[in-house]
Structure 1
Amino acid sequence: MTTLIWIATFLGTFCIMEFMAWATHKYVMHGFLWSLHKDHHHKDHDSWFERNDAFFIFYAVVSIGCFLLWKFDIFWLGLPIGIGIFAYGLAYFMVHDIFIHQRFKMFRNANNWYARGIRRAHKIHHKHLGKDDGECFGMLWVPMKYFKRK
């Protein structure tokens, strides 16, 4: 039973992180912390790093905090929650930074229906250079309209 709870907590955390990423992107990144996110929409520097990368650091600290809560026997579900946050962060990094933005030159030839839909949705999101009038704030799950053939 404990294993089942652990697996359900991990999977639930991973899924909830998509909603957290969407909400953070829409209301924080395109809201009061636009100053950290705007260089992601309109690059105004020569560095490989972006101020936007601070959001990865925030979620990494939350994940590490969960690991520590588990390690010091404060919260036994800290481990599956921490791993769920970490796994989502890794998936986000692979899809967003590597596949879509090509920060590392990998996965360039991926051209299945999911890859095309995710690319299409992200392209629509980035057509807005300002913080307002944005659309499609999700990453791994985007509206079905982006998966339909044109």
Structure 2
Amino acid sequence: MNATTQSLSTTSPTSSERQWAAGAHLAALLLALCTSWIAGAAGMLGAGMVYLVKRDDSAFAAEHAREAFNFNLSMFIYACIAVAVAVALVGATVLTLGLGIILTAPAGLLLLLAVAAIAVLWLACSIIATVKAWNGEHYRYPLTLRLLR
């Protein structure tokens, strides 16, 4: 446990800090929903703005904003990978003059199931994180690439 984590765990966040922390998750969620799940860049923008505003004032709010940013960035990267796989599957079908559909159709269905699972995970985790922040608790998103530290 480092000094930052110790100071975060020993002090209770103020009401304002909890609101900013919850706002980071909520802004990321609402902006991403308004622009579609695939365009998760808007979610990064919402969380990133809160991070830039509160990073020097509140360690609690900055931690939550950083988590929301990293999670939305991760979801955006996963969406880009899914699009690339979909393009490859369509390309394989076209290059084989349609005969490749025997292999690409089941792979495409698996890809759709994976995208749906990621979308549900994204929505559920964003709501859970907002509630945890509002309650003054720490939260770590699953499957997150923590690029912003």
TM tier, shorter chain? 0.3 to 0.5
